[in-house]
Structure formats: structure tokens, C-alpha cells
Amino acid sequence: MTLPGSDSKYLLAIETTCDETAAAVISDDLQVLSSVVASQEELHRRYAGVVPEIAARAHVERLLPVIDEALQRAAIEPAQLDLIAVAHTPGLAGSLLVGVSAAKALAVALDKPLVALNHLHAHIYACRLAAAKEIFPCLGLIVSGGHTSLYHCHSPTNFESLGGTIDDAAGEAFDKVATLLGLSYPGGPSISKAAESGNPKAYRFPRGLANQKHRLNFSFSGLKTAVRYEIWGPGQPVAGPPPLSPQQVSDIAASFQFAVVESIVEKTLEALKQTRLKRLCVGGGVAANRLLRERLQQETARLRVELHIAPPALCTDNAVMGAIAWEMFQAGQLADLELDVLPGLVRE
Ligand code: KG4
Ligand code: ZN
């Protein structure tokens, strides 16, 4: 790691959009001085999904210690900070409020400028940090527990939304299908593990919105319902462990994973075609999926498109990707104390 110069400026970025409480200190030459992430996975595991009320309360308990630790690890005093940034959209309302309130309080107390981040733009910016070179313009694909979105990223401060899921996010579908199959939470890693010994062609599951190939929206709820009916049959209640052999579990996991991955790949290729972009940047927890990575590598190599997939620690929620705040700061895009949370996705 190169050390930031003596005249460097320092950013404190805060991330509390969902179930990760995170803070990071990044210099204006994009050196990461510290990154702290407190995951709430263990709190939500028994519910097999994120419980908003529990998430918000956990952020309240953890955020100040997480910020303290980030400053300590960076060896930066609060007064040395030059900029405060916080993700204010999209996300869970209660979770977002905790981060935004803390960021506003810090900005007032320290008399520093404040930047309000779009969490999805920050996910794409994770690729900029990992690549350590310019990535714009590019096609941005975000596949996470809460989002499945495609963007035409003209510049770090100009993102044009091309499409997104009209129902469940890809990661959410992995989590819900894992529960149906009696596999552990989070569902992504447990489904891909079970899929290793399964046949992806054993079941023919539907690809959401495949008949609207030219449209860049995704849908995963029909696929999830098809899996449910395959296991329990229409009209039958879901009760207890699934009546399946281990091989059937693996085959369903593999066939489901195949359907999700192919539908993401298909829409991404369509977006590359429509935008004629020659660079693809991928972020979000589902980007850790091996089959998806392999398929995107194959297809982008075939099309001679440059591919950037952030490493796992930068794919899942973190505050380092909040470094995009420096770009916004330079573009004069500052927030004021009227800043509010925007839980729903705002279409650019
Ligand atoms: O980006 P992330 O950490 O949190 C959100 O912002 O949602 O993504 C978490 C999601 C979970 O739904 C999890 O099941 C999924 O990412 N995930 C995976 C894999 N690892 C994590 N999905 C598919 N394959 C994986 N290997
Ligand atoms: Zn995220």
C-alpha cells in the first residue's frame, strides 16, 4: 500500500443501508487507511432473512464503536477529517436513518462538508478501487441481496438506470430457495455448494421476463414459485423439511442457480449490445457466485469486453466503496442538513 501524501485529505464514509454496519477512512488519492465492517449475519440467520427492526437496532448499538475503530486504525483524529459521506439511498428506512443521523451530527460537530451517496453507485465504484485505474464509462451490474440493477455509468457522477428487478433481487431468491431446500442462510454460498454435485439440466426452471429480451428488467419471483411447486406441489403447504433426497436437493440447487445466472447473463449481454459499451463492472454479494463469474468471463472474452468484478470483500456491503464521495465532492455535489433517507430505489 502506498501511504497517502502529507497534504492528503481524509474522508470518513459510513454505510448502514441494510445489515452491515461499516465505516472507512479513505484519502483523496484513494488510499484506504481503514475499513471496518460489523456484519449482522448471526442476528438474522434464525429468520433466514434480514429483519428490518433488528437491523436498525443493531446499527444503533454498533455504529459509533465501528466509526471509532475506523478512525483509530487509520490513526486519524476526528478533527483531521475533511469530508463525511453516508449512503442515504436505497435501503431499509430504519437502517439508513441511523447512518444519516450520525453523519449529519459529525458534519455539524466537526464543521465539515457532507456527501450523500447512492449505495448502488458506490457498489460500482468498488470496481474502480479494485482496478486502481479509470473504469468509466462502463456498464454496471449490481447483484446483491437487495438489488439486481443495470446502469449505464457515464462517469462517477452520472449513472443512468437501464433496468432492475421488478420483484425479488437475485440474492433474495437464493436466500428464499435455500430455505425451501432446507439449506443454511445466507442461501447463495449454500446453494452453490449443493449445486456442485447437482445436474443443472435436471429441472427446467423459468427465466423471468425472457420473452422481453430487449427489456433490461429482471424478475425472480416466478422462478422461486416454480421451485416451491417442484418441492411441495401447488396448493400444498410448505411444512417441515423438504421431502427430497440429497441428490434431488443438489439437482434443484444446480438447476435454480443455472436459471438465475443465465437470466443475469442474458440481460447483461443485451445491455452491452444496446449501449455498445466495452467495459462491464460487477458488484454485490451474488458476484461472489462462481458460475456467474465464469459465465461473465466467457461471454466478455468472446465479445472483447473488459470485465471488472470486485473482490468478495468489496462486493459485499462495505464503506470503502463510499470513496465515490471524493468524485462527488470534486463535482460540487454536497448535501446539507436537510438530507433525508430515500429507502426506495430512485430511477435516474
Ligand atoms: O451485497 P450483499 O452482501 O448484501 C446486500 O446488499 O444485499 O449480498 C448478500 C447476498 C445474499 O443474498 C447472499 O445469499 C448472496 O449475496 N450471495 C451469493 C453468494 N454469496 C453471497 N449468491 C450466490 N452465490 C454466492 N456464492
Ligand atoms: Zn449492497
DSSP string, 169-200: -HHHHHHHHHHHTTPPSSHHHHHHHHHTTS-T
Q: Is the pLDDT of residue 141 over 70?
A: yes
Please report the pLDDT score of residue 41 as a whole number.
84
Query: Residues 147, 262: one domain?
Result: yes
Provide the percentage of residues in the chain whose pLDDT is more than 90: 83
Query: Residues 27, 151: one domain?
Result: no
Q: How remote is the CA of residue 273 from the centroid of ligand 2, in Å? A: 26
Ligand 1 lined by 200 (C-beta under 6 Å): no
Q: Is the pLDDT of residue 232 over 70?
A: yes
Confidence tier at 49 by pLDDT (50, 70, 90): confident
Residue with C-alpha cell 464514509?
13
Q: Which residues, in sequence order, are bridge partners of residue 116?
A: 86
Strand ranges for the chain from DSSP E: 10-15, 20-27, 32-39, 83-89, 114-118, 138-143, 148-155, 158-164, 279-283, 306-309
Query: Residues 65, 142: one domain?
Result: no
Ligand 1 lined by 286 (C-beta under 6 Å): yes
Q: How remote is the CA of residue 198 from the centroid of ligand 2, in Å? A: 29
- Of the ligands numbered here, which is closest to the C-alpha atom of 169? 1
Q: Cα separation of 216 and 73, whole Å?
A: 42
> Which residue's C-alpha comes closest to atom 3 of ligand 1?
316
Q: Is residue 191 part of a domain?
A: yes
Ligand 1 lined by 283 (C-beta under 6 Å): no
Ligand 1 lined by 171 (C-beta under 6 Å): yes
Confidence tier at 214 by pLDDT (50, 70, 90): confident
Q: Is the pLDDT of residue 211 over 90?
A: no
Query: Residues 179, 240: one domain?
Result: yes
Range of lowest pLDDT (232-236, 243-247, 289-293)? 232-236
Ligand 1 lined by 253 (C-beta under 6 Å): no
Q: Is the peptide bond before 186 cis (omega within 30 degrees of 0)?
A: yes
Query: Residues 106, 153: one domain?
Result: no
> Which residue's C-alpha comes closest to atom 19 of ligand 1?
188
Q: What is the mean pLDDT of residues 192-208?
A: 96
Query: Residues 273, 184: one domain?
Result: yes
Q: Is residue 290 part of a domain?
A: yes
Confidence tier at 119 by pLDDT (50, 70, 90): very high
Q: How remote is the CA of residue 334 from the centroid of ligand 1, in Å? A: 31
User: How many domains does the chain divide into?
Assistant: 2
Q: What is the DSSP string of 259-302?
A: HHHHHHHHHHHHHHHHH--SEEEEESGGGG-HHHHHHHHHHHHH
Q: Is the pLDDT of residue 103 over 80?
A: yes
> Which residue's C-alpha comes closest to atom 14 of ligand 1?
188
Ligand 1 lined by 192 (C-beta under 6 Å): yes
**Tens-digit pLDDT profile for residues 259-300:** 999 999 999 999 999 999 999 999 999 999 999 999 999 999
Ligand 1 lined by 149 (C-beta under 6 Å): no
Q: Is residue 337 part of a domain?
A: no
CA 91 to mean position of chain CA atoms: 11
pTM: 0.93
The type of residue at 180 is L
Ligand 1 lined by 198 (C-beta under 6 Å): no
Confidence tier at 236 by pLDDT (50, 70, 90): confident
Q: What is the mean pLDDT of residues 123-151?
A: 95
- Of the ligands numbered here, which is closest to the C-alpha atom of 220? 1
> Which residue's C-alpha comes closest to atom 8 of ligand 1?
285
Q: Is the pLDDT of residue 38 over 60?
A: yes
Q: Is residue 335 part of a domain?
A: no
Q: Is residue 59 part of a domain?
A: yes
Q: Is the peptide bond before 90 cis (omega within 30 degrees of 0)?
A: yes
Q: How remote is the CA of residue 20 from the centroid of ligand 2, in Å? A: 9
Confidence tier at 346 by pLDDT (50, 70, 90): low
- Of the ligands numbered here, which is closest to the C-alpha atom of 319? 2
Measuring CA to CA, which residue among 205, 198, 200, 223 is closest to residue 148?
223
Q: Is residue 53 part of a domain?
A: yes
**Tens-digit pLDDT profile for residues 57-101:** 999 999 999 999 999 999 999 999 999 999 999 999 999 999 999
Quote the Cα angle for 48-95-77, to 5°.
125
Containing structural domain, residue 148: 136-312
Q: Is residue 342 part of a domain?
A: no
Higher pLDDT pick, 256 / 47: 256
Query: Residues 293, 323: one domain?
Result: no
Q: Is residue 2 part of a domain?
A: no
Mean of per-residue pLDDT scores for the chain: 94
Please report the pLDDT score of residue 161 as a whole number.
96
Confidence tier at 210 by pLDDT (50, 70, 90): confident
